[in-house]
Amino acid sequence: MHLRLGSRGSQLALWQANHIAAHLRELGHTTEILIIRTTGDRMQDPTFTVPPDMDAKGIFIKEIEEALLANTIDLAVHSLKDLPTEIDARFTLAAIPPRADARDVLLAPEWIQLHTLADGARVGTTSPRRKAQILAHRPDIQFVSIRGNIDTRLRKLAAGECDALVLAAAGVDRLGARLLAPVELDPAHPEFNRTPHMECITHADHDHLEEHPSAHEPAGSADWIRQRFDPEILCPAPGQGALAVEVNAANKEVIAAVSKLDHAPTRFAIEAERALLHGLGGGCSLPVGAYFAEGKLCATVTAPDGEQMTTCALAPRAGETAKQLGQRAAAQLIQQGARELLAELA
């Protein structure tokens, strides 16, 4: 088949679309990628507030789903954590490929980690989940709302708008050589044995930099991955690190073609995490972490100020579906007071 993929226009979104397109070509299909500008792309402003009648996640998929219905694209590639917990019945997630690193990472220009950041350090994030969980460990941390694509956020960090950034590991990793370059350290350096040692650069075009040395960032502007958070420290967002391939539910031929990319263990994990989030009210504005790995679903709900937290860790029962596991975990968190913690957001 010839398959038209719809994607947002950011470097990360295009990497994801090209990644799926490459796998489809391996299956014998031809592909093309069509860039679609979404409401969310138009609203990358720190002062933007999502209208009460629109799911914050929906702003990144509305126009793409309209293209699916209009049959101007055959499939859409999303970061799964950007999707609402319930998909419109007119669409289906035809494939959830193997998941990348689901963890969060800390990036900073100095050799620091969360526990060694200076008192009152400024951390760049807009995520209520990350803020709440960071405050549980470091109540002195101040937060700076930094929006935009990964490269934009890295440039803002380089410019000193914050002391550190917290981002999804998968997004940074997926951009690979476009943002990361291996660094050879002096043997006397305390991090010498770290492998691989990667530097995040704020320019994507290495060849351009070689041709135009003046285009280099000023000294001290390099951004580094300093810490990959253990999920017990920062529990990831439901679906983080996973991709979703969305198709018009009426397009059976495309569904059949795309479903060959589905990875059953990843789908189980994601469906359990999303069922838990849905059971707690859904939405990316909730300080909820959920991560299925090593045979159990771990989740946490944290008060906005980080002072209180409820947690659970459940293994699936015999014959239990992913949705049932997620619902059971949500019920346990609610029994422990999760709704009261979430009510503090009101």
Among 176-185, 188-197, 249-258, top mean pLDDT goes to: 249-258
- The percentage of the chain sitting over the pLDDT mark of 90, rounded to a whole number, equals 63
Among 138-152, 192-206, 307-321, top mean pLDDT goes to: 307-321
Other CB atoms within a 10 A radius of the CB of residue 111 amount to: 11
Bigger pLDDT: 227 vs 194: 227
| pLDDT of 225 above 90 | no
| pLDDT of 220 above 50 | no
Return the CATH architecture of domain 1-97+242-262. Answer: 3-Layer(aba) Sandwich (3.40)
| pLDDT of 51 above 80 | no
Fold match between 1-97+242-262 and 104-228? yes
The answer to whether the CB of 246 falls within 8 A of the CB of 94 is: yes
* Domain range annotation of the chain: 1-97+242-262, 104-228, 263-346
The answer to whether the CB of 261 falls within 8 A of the CB of 97 is: yes
Report which DSSP code applies to 10: S
Q: Give me Rg for the CA atoms of the chain.
A: 20
- Class of the CATH-defined domain 263-346: alpha beta
Residues 125-152, mean pLDDT to the nearest whole number: 92
Bigger pLDDT: 158 vs 284: 158
The answer to whether the CB of 225 falls within 8 A of the CB of 107 is: yes
Predicted confidence at residue 234, as pLDDT, reads 96
Q: Which of 55, 82, 104, 163 is catalytic?
A: 82
Bigger pLDDT: 251 vs 13: 251
- The percentage of the chain sitting over the pLDDT mark of 70, rounded to a whole number, equals 79
| pLDDT of 166 above 90 | yes
Residue 82 bears catalytic tag: yes
Phi (first) and psi of residue 332, to 5 degrees: -65, -40
The answer to whether the CB of 60 falls within 8 A of the CB of 6 is: no
Predicted confidence at residue 298, as pLDDT, reads 98
Give one DSSP letter per residue of 286-334, joined into a string. S-EEEEEETTEEEEEEE-TTSS-EEEEEEPPPTT--HHHHHHHHHHHHH
Other CB atoms within a 10 A radius of the CB of residue 113 amount to: 12
| pLDDT of 57 above 70 | no
Q: Out of 1.10.10.10, 3.40.50.300, 3.40.190.10, 1.10.1740.10, which CATH number does the structure's domain 104-228 have?
A: 3.40.190.10
CA count, 13 A, side-chain hemisphere, 40 = 22
| pLDDT of 208 above 70 | no
209-222 as b/e: b if 16+ CB within 10 A: eeeeeeeebeeebb
Predicted confidence at residue 188, as pLDDT, reads 64
